[in-house]
Structure 1
């Protein structure tokens, strides 16, 4: 990584991201389950067309009953290319956490065999977990399907991730995720098979990706291993190796303590 670059790029458990301000402009209203074309960048188009993801409650309707989370797959069963259009997960949930409530929506590319409702339910569970960022009592999150929102989590084929991330100057090589603008792009290969560097269940790896990226959005930087045998911080770039730490997907431990490490430039 070159320090002289204005845009910083790094990798987490297979995730590239562009460092950016935690807050951006609200996205335009859109309808649940609307099919939208994959944007080429994080810049929202005019309000008369489907908007690209960008940052922003009234009391929402009751949440949609969660569907079972999608199970792990194999690299051979992961499609290399989808349709290039996305389906927005249906349903709006009650906010979780306190303080600033960030609204987010989940979109899944059509043709990759991943259920939007199941994925949204899993992401909602991650962000609402007591080991997650709501434990700081300063941040909260709300899953939405329409109206203004702060960011989107998109699960997409390797080809689509490469195209969207490549438009921002990132080379994801058909393998890794990226975080650009107000979009978290999750490569379906990583979503269904995990990371070879993360020794844990697929659901834990998914939690690591979501917690790390959302951590950046609320102002957290990278952290290193605090010592041999200790849990790796969620903000550690665990794809580079654990440096003696144990794999961990969560910002906070079961006892409510923050699992921190030394700051990493």
Structure 2
């Protein structure tokens, strides 16, 4: 979110000497000379996005009486320690539309098969009216399925991104549309969850964009968990798993959004040594 607009303050204006008065006071043999002058100025904070040029104007009149110098600028979130303006950052999360038209755009993309085992071709669709490119989402999903800790790297199957003649579809949908698609399979996703349907995977847009409050990592990494979990169902892993012990990695087939039960959040089916991360069946 862009911060509020600020204008640039006028640069300091220095007033030249307005006169030279000589007052001679005879105090014995000495004399004093007094020079009268002064200046005032202000500097306003700016942002790098909005910079307004200072408008020319007439110089301010000389003050009738001396004024104390302006106080030093106070520290604020908009100014850095070096005195330069710092970019304001918003703490607000990205906005996710609650519903959409229920129609989808298919990514026009075609990839090479990755992995070993039975080939499963998939296409990626994104609901119309949301600020996500179907092509970029497809490229991200392709990278997830090609990860060395993913399903394809350990013989669970091979995957190929296509735009037609797919074996299953991965849809990214607004919460209302996701609920409708999942509800048609008898699944109650409460505007929050993802699901697997008879024709593929439904990804809740809110989870794709915002991640999960129970996942210790950025939303971009939580997307890996979404895809790996739902594609795990696609390749035949029907049962959800639980935590195998406090401090251990949570299985990717665990519904981690519902809680970790002492496990550490994890987005991959296999650990760094290629061992499948499992747990008790639920």
The question of a shared fold, defined as TM-score above 0.5 by the shorter chain, is answered with: yes
Provide closer, same or farther for how the CA distance between residues 254 and 157 of structure 1 changes in structure 2, counting only shifts above 3 A: same
**Alignment partner of 1:103 out of 121, 130, 146:** 121
130 and 80 in structure 1: CA distance in 2 versus 1, 3 angstrom threshold: same
Partner of 2:149: 131
- Residue equivalent to 2:268: 250
- Alignment CA distance shift 1:76-1:127 (3 Å): closer
CA contact (8 A) 1:135 1:252 kept: no
Q: Give the drift of 1:159.
A: 1.9
CA distance 1:183–1:170, change in 2 (3 Å):
same
TM-superposed deviation, 1:239: 2.1
Select the structure of larger CA radius of gyration. Answer: 2
Q: CA deviation at 1:155?
A: 0.5
Runs of 4+ in 1 over 3 A off after TM superposition: 73-76
- Pairing partner for 1:226 from 220, 228, 244: 244
| CA deviation vs aligned residue, 1:27-74 (integer Å, no higher than 9, x gap) | xxxxxxxxxxxxxxxxxxxxxxxxxxxxxxxxxxxxxxxxxxxxxx96
2:173 aligned residue: 156
Aligned residue for 1:219, secondary structure, equals coil
- Show the counterpart of 1:34: none
Any residues of structure 2 matched to 1:1-265 within 5 Å, and which? 77-146=95-164, 148-220=165-237, 221-264=239-282
Alpha-carbon distance in 2 for matches of 1:83, 1:107? 14
Alpha-carbon shift at residue 180 of structure 1 (Å): 1.5
1: distance between equivalents of 2:129 and 2:205? 11
1:74–1:193 CA contact under 8 A, matched in 2: no
Give the TM-score normalised by the residue count of structure 1: 0.68
* Equivalent-residue separation in structure 2 for 1:74 and 1:133 (angstroms): 35
**1:54 match:** none
Give secondary structure in 2 for the equivalent of 1:77: coil
Q: Tell me the alpha carbon deviations over residues 137-169 of structure 1, each in whole angstroms, 9 at most, x when there is no partner.
A: 2411001011x2111110011221122222233
Going from structure 1 to structure 2, the CA distance change for 1:225 and 1:173 (only over 3 Å counts) comes to: closer
Give unmatched runs, 5+ long, in structure 1. Answer: 1-72
Structure 2 alignment gaps of length 5 or more: 1-90
**C-alpha separation in 2, matches of 1:157 and 1:138:** 30
Give TM-score scaled by structure 2 length.
Answer: 0.64
Q: Which stretch has the larger CA shift, 126-135 or 196-205?
A: 196-205
Q: Is contact 1:81–1:112 with CA below 8 Å preserved after alignment?
A: no
Q: Pairwise CA RMSD of aligned residues? A: 1.7
Q: How many angstroms does 1:76 deviate by?
A: 5.8
* Aligned partners of 1:87 and 1:109 also within 8 Å: yes
Structure number with higher relative contact order (C-alpha < 8 Å, ≥ 6 residues apart): 1
Q: Which moved more, 1:224-233 or 1:86-95?
A: 224-233
